Amino acid sequence: MIYPQEIYNASPTRMKYLNREMLHGNAETLVLALLAEKGCHGYRLRQELAERSHDYFQMGYGRLYPLLRSMERRRLVTARRVKVGKSREQRRYAITARGLAELRERKRRWRQFCAAMDCILSTRDDISPGDIS
């Protein structure tokens, strides 16, 4: 997988602030996107989020599990207990039809947002300092 160059070039301090700010409003969308690919337990969700974002997004358990419970109450995800080993159980989460519909809508809104941002940002990138008089 190829990662955007901006992820590699961000300083650790800058990434700390960027990922918190971006993760705050998009955590549910990211979780829904991962669960749309395959169901899994919370630990794996957290791990997958960090790995696939090249450690840009790191969600603490104190944020992830309450988020999953909230999404479960709103019927965006389901959880079931699965026996692991002889006596241990873990909760496996899966996206619901309602969650898939929500994810599609969030993706649509995200694309609109990015397109609108690009309309503003791309015009400024094209202007060199010598062009401004």
Using alpha carbons, select from 100, 86, 82, 99 the residue that is nearest to residue 41: 82
pTM over 0.85: no
Backbone φ and ψ of 84, nearest 5°: -120, 115
Edge-to-edge strands, sheet with 40-41: 40-41, 88-95, 77-84
pLDDT tens per residue across span 24-66: 678 999 999 999 999 999 999 999 999 998 888 888 888 899 9
Backbone φ and ψ of 14, nearest 5°: -65, -40
Q: What is the CATH number of domain 5-131?
A: 1.10.10.10
Confidence tier at 21 by pLDDT (50, 70, 90): low
pLDDT tens per residue across span 96-109: 999 999 999 999 99
Give the start-to-end residue ranges of the domains of the chain: 5-131
In percent, the amount of the chain with pLDDT more than 90 equals: 48
